[in-house]
Structure 1
Amino acid sequence: MHPKLRGLCFVITGGIFWGASGTVAQYLFSRYHLAPLWLVEIRLLCAGLLLLLTASCTNPRQLFTIWRQATHRRQLLYFSFCGMLTSQATYFLAINYGNAPTATVLQFLGPLFIIAWVTWSQHLLPRRIDLWCVALALIGTFLLVTSGNLKQLSLTPAALFWGLVAGIGQACYTLLPRQLLKEFPASIVVGWAMLLGSLPFSYLLFTQPLPAPKLPLWGGIGFIIVFGTMFSYWLYLKSLQDLSPETTGMLSSFEPLTATILAIFCLQTPFSGIQLLGGGLILSTTFLQALPAKKAST
């Protein structure tokens, strides 16, 4: 498989898992009144341990190598707390104070921060295709979650604040681990980052009672841990080994598309023509980003 095609498959699949986890999280918050920070803690802790356990079987010699050099330790700590923890906690807080579509719109400002950072740090103008993809993805996301009506977004000050920080967190999550991923497997980088990111809220495991033993509740938590956290983050970071951060950030737009599809089939939410247009615009970024690879292979 061509590296760029492989990266496209990874980031799209990861976006689907992440979008589904946001929908499940909103269901848990509204139905069972689950505390968002407790869910952040349990998902990071469990997913991090699972990834490190996997890495201990597949790459046992590299499991602790990441801690040997001061540069790697510093990069891992930055990624853990500024990228992993920030993107997780702020996104769930934005969902809790608003809703999943609102959090998605605000978090999707992340690609704008990515392109702005890359442009500034490398002293280069953004590519024309990146500008088109930013415009199409933002317009598509807006149409998808609002049906073209801005009044449908209920933005409390808390939801607005946490959503904007989630966009910054998403950009940091994409940019910070790139050097580490060149030298270590994604499972090790993500596993340690999740485990470290769980530390600030570890006290919640001892101060808050466990949720009620209900199958839908724990089934939702399990889905968020395994698919919405472990696999989605691992696939997202694996894609960075084959794609630029701008491309990876753009294709994370599959998150709102997934959330909308789940709302249709699981919650019987009507789907308007404007929403269909928004989904088509988001999907079009996939083909635009794949064009350079197609030209290069001819």
Structure 2
Amino acid sequence: MHNNKIKGIGLAILGPLLWGISGTTAQFLFTSENVGANWLVSVRMLVSGILLVLFGLVTNAKANLVIWHHFNDAVKLIFFSFAGMAASQYTYFKAIEYGNAATATILQFLSPAVIILYLVVKTHRPPRRIDVFSLIMALTGTILLVTHGHLTTLAIPIRGLLWGLATAITASIYTLLPDKLLRTYGSIPVVGWSMLIGGASFSCFYRIWDRMPAFSWQTYGGVSFVVIFGTMFAYLFYLQSLSYIRPTVASVLGSFEPLSATILSIIFLGISFGLPETIGGGLILGTVGLQSWAAMKQHLPEPSHL
């Protein structure tokens, strides 16, 4: 039992670490290798979707095909593929393209605050004290993060901020939308098929074959890492961790994603990250811990990951 818990914690850390490294790699591709976010999102979802679906079919073909035998659930899956999976992937990479990986990844973790506001409106109930405190932390953290402590100016491009806030919204949709599908069919079929559907649609819409970047080992090595390690293996590690540890624990350990993205951006991409933005990022990530703790006492949607 103890060994399984250690294994689960290790997997829950490794998955988000790979996500964070993937975000920094994507920023390198955007700024230095002339790779567009639209192209990378399309390729990432398409190839990862193919690999995850194949993995699911090889390990348990029946479980990964049964969703297509139920019309209503198949429609829900297709809707989630665009409104949840594709939207969250697209906004996240656009936030990196117009801002930077560290800020985009931290702003993504505003999703618990967005979920709180959504549930308040939906249920017509006033927020709990812990929710109010979480919202104050998230707002304060966001202001410090995007102004670097200089409250009259933005420290990141306005488009980077807007795409980052959009990432928080789409990450919330990604968390809330497939709840019943995940409980009925499991994570691998839902994530794999939604990536494949979203990726195939994006690839055709953007005609990725007409926008192939010039070949270099750095470019295609970076793309391969984003697709294989930063997507497929990251999802598999994180999802596998849920077999050994609570989702609430895995959600808190997901903070290793912005941590790795921030450290690597500072070291390799020269991103400035001083005390105000560090405090701001800590406050935003603190809302994940608070809401995960609250979810242990009452069943609430927990933070999810790209």
Q: TM-score, normalised by structure 1?
A: 0.79
Using the TM superposition, give the Cα deviation of residue 171 of structure 1 relative to its aligned residue in structure 2, in angstroms: 1.0
Report the CA distance shift for 1:80/1:238 in structure 2 as closer, same or farther (over 3 A). Answer: farther
Any conservation in 1 of the 2:92–2:164 contact (CA below 8 Å)?
yes
Report the CA distance shift for 1:237/1:137 in structure 2 as closer, same or farther (over 3 A). Answer: farther
Superposition pairs of residues 194-233 of structure 1, within 5 angstroms: 194-203=195-204, 204-208=207-211, 210-233=212-235
CA distance in 2: counterparts of 1:251 and 1:144, whole angstroms: 21
Report the CA distance shift for 1:171/1:284 in structure 2 as closer, same or farther (over 3 A). Answer: closer
Q: Which residue of 1 aligns with 2:171?
A: 170
Report the CA distance shift for 1:49/1:224 in structure 2 as closer, same or farther (over 3 A). Answer: same
Any conservation in 1 of the 2:108–2:167 contact (CA below 8 Å)?
yes
**1:116-142 deviation line (CA, Å, top 9, x unaligned):** 223333444444334434443554465
Q: Which residue of 1 aligns with 2:303?
A: none
Report the CA distance shift for 1:134/1:237 in structure 2 as closer, same or farther (over 3 A). Answer: farther
CA distance in 2: counterparts of 1:132 and 1:13, whole angstroms: 30
2:268 to 266, 269, 278: 266
More moved, 191-200 vs 142-151 = 142-151
Q: CA RMSD in A?
A: 3.7
CA distance in 2: counterparts of 1:123 and 1:12, whole angstroms: 36
Q: 2:49 aligns to what SS in structure 1?
A: helix
CA distance in 1: counterparts of 2:161 and 2:281, whole angstroms: 23
Any conservation in 1 of the 2:141–2:279 contact (CA below 8 Å)?
yes
Q: 2:184 aligns to what SS in structure 1?
A: coil
Report the CA distance shift for 1:130/1:240 in structure 2 as closer, same or farther (over 3 A). Answer: farther
Any conservation in 2 of the 1:257–1:279 contact (CA below 8 Å)?
no
CA distance in 2: counterparts of 1:292 and 1:110, whole angstroms: 15
Q: Which residue of 2 aligns with 1:37?
A: 38
**1:215-272 deviation line (CA, Å, top 9, x unaligned):** 222221112112322244456667899547xx95x87554433222112343465653
Superposition pairs of residues 236-255 of structure 1, within 5 angstroms: 242-243=246-247, 248=251, 253-255=255-257
**1:15-62 deviation line (CA, Å, top 9, x unaligned):** 433332221111101101102111111110111111111111222111
Q: Which residue of 2 aligns with 1:90?
A: 91
Q: Which residue of 2 aligns with 1:79?
A: 80
Report the CA distance shift for 1:198/1:111 in structure 2 as closer, same or farther (over 3 A). Answer: same
CA distance in 2: counterparts of 1:13 and 1:115, whole angstroms: 28
Gaps of 5+ in 1: none
**Alignment identity in percent?**
45
Q: 2:168 aligns to what SS in structure 1?
A: helix
More moved, 278-287 vs 185-194 = 278-287
Which amino acid in 2 is paired with 1:223?
A: F
Gaps of 5+ in 2: 299-306
